[in-house]
Amino acid sequence: MKRKATVGLKIESDQKVDRPSPRSSVLQSAREAKWILLIWFASFVWTLGYCTRYGYQPVDPSQLNLVMGMPHWVFWGVVMPWVTTMIVSIWFALFCIRDDELGEEPPESGGDS
Amino acid sequence: MFSEANTALLTFLFYTVAVFLLAILSNRVAKGKEFVGEYFLGSRSFGVWAFALTFAATNASGGTFMGFPALIYTHGWSLALWIAGYMALPLVSMAILGKRINQIARQSGALTIPEVLKARFHSERTGLVATSMLIFFMFFYIVAQFKAGGKILTTLLADDPIFQSIVQGTGSLVAPIPWVNQADPDYLVCLLVFAVAVIVYVVYGGFRAVVWTDVMQGIVMFVGVVLMLGLTLYQVGGLESATKQIAVMTPPEFGEGVLRLPPKGDAKPLEQDLFIPKGMWIIDGDQVVRVAESTVIAAGFQHAEPIRLLRLTTESERQRVRDSVASQISPGMELQVEVEKWDAYQYGAGQTGVYITNPGPSETNSLGFLAIGSAISFFIFWPFAATGQPSNLVRLLSFKDTKTLQYSVVTVSVYYAVIYFSLVVVFCCARVLLPGMEIDPDRTMPDLATHLTRVAGIPWLAGILVAAPFAAVMSSVDSFLLVVSSAVVRDLYQGSINKNASEAKIKKLSYQVTIVVGFLAMCFVLNPPKYLQDLIVFATGGLAACFLVPLVLSLYWRRMTSTAAIAGMMGGTLMHVVLTGWGYYVEQEFRAFEFLGLNPFLWDLVGSVGACLLAVLLGPPPESETVREYFSE
């Protein structure tokens, strides 16, 4: 089984193993979980930081500040962090989550093969 | 061939046939495979599309297509911030636990979440506590979803003449049956049809049928929302035009009042009853008023009984109504509105710009719809509550390899970004296209679908659009039904009562339990309790509060013990129950108390973490053999 290198995570790359040791897999999953929490926290800080600062101010309908047809706080405080988080999520899923072996199919639960 | 009245019925018939076909196909695929693993987990064989779409569709319940649009319509652009927590939801809820829980489940042969906990600690007691909690909270959830299914179907089919004749027949049929006759006949018919359809396909097809129908329903939801987005933006003249119109809007006013015929000198007295339907517009001088509940002016009388009315306060909205609604009652007969006092919104009354900024208008809360504390709470609540939901967790046991998980995170991330943000845009624009939906915000989605397709000259398309909320409820209720059935059969019966039960016995019992649970849920909502919507919130929060922390610590922390897992489940649940009780005591409503203005879920997590840590610190260390089994090199 080929296990790919991941960007930004300290894990062994291109190792040929039959099955990862449970401990190696646990540590890797825990490491990935920490990075995921960091991504979530970054999106939290951006969204809540921007919206709290600019999204709670009263507006004058004759002097609207719109970006792509939506209020500017929605564009910069929700749309942009959403798109960024989506791109980071995709990058993380494809390149940072290690392709670990999930284990043998338990004999009592059957299987397709 | 298609008309507005029968598109919904045709859609529903198409749906029912499609899900039954999928169930039959699923049943054929399952032949020859070991029953329990196939019925409850599809033999852990699902690839990217099946896994991603079943995960996405299960999360998007009826609320996504009925409640959420209603909130957007009522409170405006602030819903963009309210739902923003979904941006990280796919990554958080799938990837934090996905690989690890799937590995442990495979290693131990676990098919359910209680089984995972039981296997992790080799503790029957832990599994039993988890099963009890799961059944307790899940039952409320299923009950609520059955009600939502019945209600949505009622809304969709309301104008269909065939449906109305069936309703009349049912009404006279159940009239002599006590308790059943208290339910509205239209709701009764829809509930029965919905429940039978779901129970049959779940029983016949099992987890595989549930996943396959989820895939179909997930595609329908996606296509429906994207089509709505295009039609809405076109008809409203672009997003910029819509936002500018929303910016000048001020919230409507509600009042209890009487509809009166003009003085006798001006009009003929009524020779027969005049029925005034819910939703009818009345233009009385400068006032533009909408009827919020049906009423009748009896023959010979001058006025109806007092009813709830809505009055528009924005001139552009009033003009739109004047232009589109000349007169909905007999020509020459104009009703007059008498209301003693119009009630303004607690927050946002008379303020322009309130729909395009936070906290958004609120009829009942003087702080507005989304105070900063609530915005913070929801950003935390959405991704982490989803992570702790057993219906999501059990899906993490079913993907076949890590690649599937990786590509599914990609798929669901794009799916949610498109669906949720499109819904915000569509239903903000709906404020411009459909004034006065505040009388029944839950109808915003089907009414907008009908309006958009009628204006575009393609009424048959309404069928696809209105199918989205129905698909969403169906894809949630089937999953919950199976989770409860598996808890009873696999965890209680096979795990504790009869460990050596034959496959034939388990198969028979699985079918029976699925039918009985579905039937019980249906009976429970024949006359839905008043606070059912609050019970949904109670169940969702309770499930996440109960399972999230114990599961995360069990999967990642070597020192975690079975006692600590039980303490964590009890701690989270207890905090949830206490805050709900406190909320009831303070507010006289079945709603958890928001201590320091934060979502109760955050306090539940604090309770659960505290209980786990205390139990680990005070209790004996975990058995070294168990630790070696799941953590050693």
CB-CB neighbors (< 8 A) of B241 in chain A = 69
Residue B106 has its nearest CB partner, among A36, A58, A102, at A102
* 8 Å CB contact between B210 and B483: no
Q: Do A93 and B375 touch (CB under 8 A)?
A: no
Answer positive or negative: Cα dihedral of B297, B298, B300, B305.
negative
Report the distance separating Cα B122 and Cα B567, nearest Å: 16
CB-CB neighbors (< 8 A) of A89 in chain B = 88, 90-91, 409-410, 413
For chain B, list the domains and their CATH numbers: 4-27+46-240+366-526 (1.20.1730.10), 252-343 (no CATH)
Task: Find the length of chain B.
Answer: 633
Average pLDDT of span B540-563: 92
What ipTM did this prediction achieve?
A: 0.84
Residue B388 burial (10 A CB sphere; 0-12, 13-18, 19+):
buried
Residue B609: predicted pLDDT: 96
Q: A77-113 pLDDT, tens per residue? A: 999 999 999 999 999 999 999 888 877 755 554 333 2
Determine the residue of chain A that is closest to B414 in CA distance. A86
**Burial per residue of B578-604, b for 16 or more beta-carbon CB atoms within 10 angstroms, e otherwise:** bbbeebbeeeeebbbbbeeebbbbbbb
Q: Do B556 and A30 touch (CB under 8 A)?
A: yes
Residue A12: predicted pLDDT: 40
Residue B269: predicted pLDDT: 67
Q: Does A25 touch chain B (CB under 8 A)?
A: yes
Say if residue B280's pLDDT is above 90: no
Q: Do B36 and A37 touch (CB under 8 A)?
A: no
Q: B454-484 pLDDT, tens per residue? A: 888 887 777 777 776 777 777 777 777 887 8
Question: CA B219 from chain center: how many Å?
Answer: 18
Q: In Å, how far are A59, B558, B564, B631, B632 from B625, measured between CA atoms?
A: 64, 11, 17, 10, 9
CB-CB neighbors (< 8 A) of A112 in chain B = 33, 43, 45
Q: B75-85 pLDDT, tens per residue? A: 999 999 999 99
CA distance A75 to chain B (A): 10
Q: Does A59 touch chain B (CB under 8 A)?
A: yes
CB-CB neighbors (< 8 A) of A78 in chain B = 80-81, 84
Residue B430: predicted pLDDT: 95
CB-CB neighbors (< 8 A) of B243 in chain A = 64, 66, 69-71
Q: Do A83 and B244 touch (CB under 8 A)?
A: no
Say if residue B355's pLDDT is above 60: yes
Determine the residue of chain A that is closest to B410 in CA distance. A90
Q: Do A100 and B410 touch (CB under 8 A)?
A: no
CB-CB neighbors (< 8 A) of B548 in chain A = none
Question: CA B227 from chain center: how many Å?
Answer: 21
pLDDT greater at residue B271 or residue B237 = B237
Average pLDDT of span B166-177: 83
Q: B362-417 pLDDT, tens per residue? A: 998 888 999 998 899 899 999 999 999 888 898 898 888 899 999 999 999 999 99
CA distance A90 to chain B (A): 5
Residue B356 has its nearest CB partner, among A29, A32, A59, at A59
pLDDT greater at residue B313 or residue B210 = B313
Q: What are the structure tokens assigned to B516, written together? A: 């009985």
Q: B193-202 pLDDT, tens per residue? A: 888 888 887 8
Say if residue B143's pLDDT is above 70: yes
